[in-house]
Structure 1
């Protein structure tokens, strides 16, 4: 076990004095590299796609659907170009894609998420690459130095994520209207948006910060039965946090891509009624 001095100065790790002297890099015989490689590939694919869509500044509104990457539209350049929902908070001075304003909040929430930290630490930095596989770095400082110390803002991004999820819930409700703003519409896009918002809320509420907010700082659950039931529910979701993280990541990209296909005229939204 590394001493406190070794940890502070980055001298700890599997090669530190006092640790077992195992010459082999690892003793695993399975394809341990497959999981971090798939994780890195999946995250890279989403980063590439979301970057393209965020800077495209086009094809993000097809009545009654607005892309989750661009909602809420807070810049003036949303309305005259696309006719979609627009709050016009930033005014005309914001000339680039309005998605840049919005994506910082869900992106910050996911980047600082406990599961995603594990995913990209292993997938991109090999820190560590897998269980029982030594990381290639000579020093280890954890999340005690800049920039990783900024991971502690996760709890604040959680509140922003709640607001974003609320906006996407509103957009999902609007997907039940037709292009003349009459209620009673349901198309394939409505189902896509419903699936997305269910997964978004499930992932957000399964967050470790949410679990702490709901059930933390309590000495006796018996005196707080409502919070205890809420904590039990969040704990069940938390046990599936990894699966919900990936499912919601795929669903939000799918919802955006569906709007893109409609807005670019690839096909019309199939309507059920």
Structure 2
């Protein structure tokens, strides 16, 4: 009698159909539109990925020479393929073939930072991988191994992507400061500066609200009283951390807005609204 039970357990796997779980034939007993949040998440992430991919490869309308506006999708631009003036840190590389984006130095690391982010894991685990698609809804997978095997074990290197994200945020900050440039060569200030600066502020808020940043500030401390500075940093980052999900979405929006505005100005579709020129 014990052998068949063992075989059944093996076939059932470790998911919601495992013998130790309640046996419910229905996928869910929920009557609300539980599928709507995963669907909206999928559409939102897909829209950003499609837009960012296209803009990263087109190699046009990413630099406004008159005002020194540079879209974050092309920063830093380090090859001789970059238009004159857009290489704030020099040209380290020669001409690049068209299938390599001009921001190739940092784009893989930023993608890794976002993909391994704790919130984005939750977002695409639920909306794309259906693990699970929603609370009290059975996932379609027979087994669950978590982040213990390839490829999901790579999620554990998130903290290292965080260090690169901080460096990129510094570069974007430099770009935003450099953009306070007037058409005559001196100080200038326009709507583009507001957008670039707002994007940088949101990027810093998202980056510093990261769980890895919170751990760096206060992790492994046994006595907060002996480390008052780190404790203060930990409390401030913890406040940001509670908004990590909102900041993750806001920064997707500010990145698209910034790039789209720079593209319109660079293409002469619209003129930058200048306050000081």
Given the two structures, how large is their TM-score scaled by the length of structure 2? 0.91
Aligned partner of 1:39 among 38, 41, 56: 41
Q: In the alignment, what sits opposite 1:132?
A: 136
Q: In the alignment, what sits opposite 1:145?
A: 149
Decide whether the 8 Å contact of 2:76 with 2:87 is kept in 1: yes
* Deviating 4+ runs (over 4 angstroms): none
Distance 1:14 1:190, change over 3 A: same
Aligned partner of 2:257 among 239, 248, 254: 254
Is structure 2 residue 227 aligned with structure 1 residue 224? yes
Q: Residues 114-172 of structure 1, C-alpha deviation per residue, up to 9 Å, x if partnerless?
A: 10011011111111101111101111111111111111111000000000000001111
Distance 1:73 1:154, change over 3 A: same
Matches within 5 A, 1:96-245: 96=98, 97-183=101-187, 185-245=188-248
Distance 1:10 1:65 in 2: 57
Given the two structures, how large is their TM-score scaled by the length of structure 1? 0.92
Distance 2:230 2:28 in 1: 45
Distance 1:10 1:141 in 2: 14
Q: Residues 161-213 of structure 1, C-alpha deviation per residue, up to 9 Å, x if partnerless?
A: 00000000111111212244312x11000110111011100000000000000
Distance 1:179 1:9 in 2: 70
Decide whether the 8 Å contact of 1:69 with 1:102 is kept in 2: no
Decide whether the 8 Å contact of 2:75 with 2:103 is kept in 1: yes
Post-superposition shift, 1:94? Answer: 2.8
Decide whether the 8 Å contact of 1:113 with 1:207 is kept in 2: yes
1:272 counterpart SS class = strand
Q: In the alignment, what sits opposite 2:275?
A: 272
Aligned partner of 1:263 among 259, 262, 266: 266
Post-superposition shift, 1:87? Answer: 3.0
**CA RMSD, 1 decimal:** 1.7
Unaligned runs of 5+ in 2: 1-9
Distance 1:148 1:117, change over 3 A: same
